[in-house]
Amino acid sequence: MVQRNRLSNPRKLLVSAANWIGDAVMSVPALEALRKCYPGAEIVLLAKPWVSELYWSHPAASRLIIYDPDGEHAGPRGFWKIVQALRSERFEAAILFRNSFHSAWMAWCARIPARVGYARDCRSALLTDGIEAPPAAAYGHQSSYYLQLLFRAGLIEKPEPVQSVRLVVSDAEKKWAEKRLESLGLQGRRFLVGLNPGASFGPAKRWLLERFADLADRLVGGLQADVLIFGSRDEKPLAEEVTKEMKQKSTVLAGETTLRQLMALLSRCSLVVTNDSGPMHLAAALGLPLVAIFGSTDERATGPLGPHTRIVKRPVSCSPCGLRECPIDFRCMTGVSVDDVYRAALELVKETKA
């Protein structure tokens, strides 16, 4: 456990951010708790490019250092470049939200005197404060997993369960979204529905594309909605397959936005329907009405944290399995009907309009 007198009034802390968008969103409460504990410290986030935009202008982060292992920090030479940059900062402590051996090795090489992280992935010897990872029953939701690291290290008081995460879109980003929608012919008062048919972890988390298409057609007819289909560049073929299967018109935006632009466009939606994915956590943190479809994963651990969410799933004995691909008949997802999701969407829209 970290001795509080070692970090009673730190000048500069490094936080190694989570790798993926969903994990990064779920770690925000821990970042905010760290800021509350050390209001005067400079808290610097070390983040990979694809999650770094999440923290822009977030009050808990003083600034960002981008670690790009596929670009300027690729290979041994690139690794030592980022290590030298971290050494020059003279951090007093590193808090590792990332569980990897690599993140601990980097902090050790950077000669950061206090290195706090979970003692897993064979990295205990690299940590000054290796914290035994708690069993899932001890923390429940993944957001509490990051808070538990701080608590078990003696940095914060025992945390309450996280009820919501809050992210905001700036006025400038909202104006950009308005102009983008106007360029698509979607200006004015419209009921926008955002669909996210992808999930980067693997196909086991993806509801059937033809069912997304059927659902979208029903939402167009039932709510006079305009449908936007989101996703990453790699997920654009999925989005295009959905729009191809639809009878009504939709707009594919997959692969055409940065993370902040995705957040800005999502914020204009009156309803979002998605698999368990990074955009699901973004939509929830933006406070949007959200229907999340779960199959291979456990909504108790990675479900969306927001005031207006609905989970749709079909309980089966083999779920949650946590696998990337289903080895049998994909019953957890084939068991979720279009009627199930459409009904949940209508109920949620009615509730949020009340």
Which residue blocks in 99-208 are alpha helix, DSSP H?
101-109, 136-139, 142-152, 171-183
Backbone angle region of 80, left / alpha / beta, with phi > 0 → left and psi within -120 to 50 → alpha: alpha
Residue 141 lies in a domain: yes
Chain centroid offset of residue 133 CA: 21
Does residue 148 sit in the same domain as residue 204? no
Q: Are residues 144 and 180 in the same domain?
A: no
Same domain, 225 and 110: no
C-alpha to C-alpha distances, 189 to 57, 150, 185, 268, nearest whole angstrom: 29, 45, 12, 10
Evaluate whether residue 163 is within a structural domain: no
User: Which residue segment(s) compose the domain that 317 sits in?
Assistant: 171-353
Beta bridge partners of 310: 291
Strand, coil or helix: what is 260? Answer: helix
Among 207, 201, 251, 206, CA closest to 229: 251
Helix, strand, coil % in the chain, rounded to nearest 5? 40, 15, 45
Is 3 within a domain? no
| 103 and 183 assigned to the same domain | no
Q: Could you say which DSSP state residue 132 is in?
A: P
Same domain (yes/no): 313, 190 = yes
The pLDDT value recorded for residue 3 is: 47
Query: Is the pTM of the predicted complex or chain greater than 0.85?
Result: yes
Domain end marker among 125, 152, 179: 152
- Are 269 and 192 in contact by the 8 Å Cβ rule? The answer is yes
**Do 19 and 73 fall into the same domain?**
yes
What domain count does the chain have? Answer: 2
Q: What is the CATH number of the domain that holds 100?
A: 3.40.50.2000
Are 273 and 305 within one domain? yes
Mean pLDDT, consecutive 10-residue stretches, the chain (354 aa), reads: 60 96 97 96 97 95 97 96 98 96 98 96 95 88 96 93 94 97 94 96 95 98 97 97 98 97 98 98 98 96 95 96 94 97 97 82
The answer as to whether 306 is a domain residue is: yes
Looking at the fold, whether 201 and 92 belong to one and the same domain comes out as no
| Model pLDDT, residue 282 | 98
Which spans in the chain are helix H?
A: 21-37, 49-52, 75-89, 101-109, 136-139, 142-152, 171-183, 209-223, 236-245, 259-266, 278-285, 299-302, 331-334, 338-353
Tokens of 240: 């295009």
What is the rounded CA–CA span in Å between residue 83 and residue 212? Answer: 45
Residue-level pLDDT at 176: 98
Number of helices (H), then strands (E), in the chain: 14, 12
pLDDT at 139: 87
What confidence score (pLDDT) does residue 2 get? Answer: 52
Residue 5 resides in a domain: no
* Final residue in a domain of this structure, among 109, 125, 152: 152
pLDDT score, position 229: 98
What pLDDT was estimated at residue 136?
Answer: 81
Let me know whether 211 and 256 are in one domain. Answer: yes
What's the confidence (pLDDT) of residue 6? Answer: 56
Please identify, among 101, 118, 152, the residue that sits at the C-terminal boundary of a domain. 152
Would residue 159 count as lying in a domain? Answer: no
- The reply to whether 301 falls in a domain is yes
Q: What is the Cα–Cα distance from 12 to 16, expressed in whole angstroms?
A: 13
Quick check: is 182 in a domain?
yes
CB 272 within 8 A of CB 290: yes
Residue 263 three-state SS: helix
Same domain, 40 and 99: yes
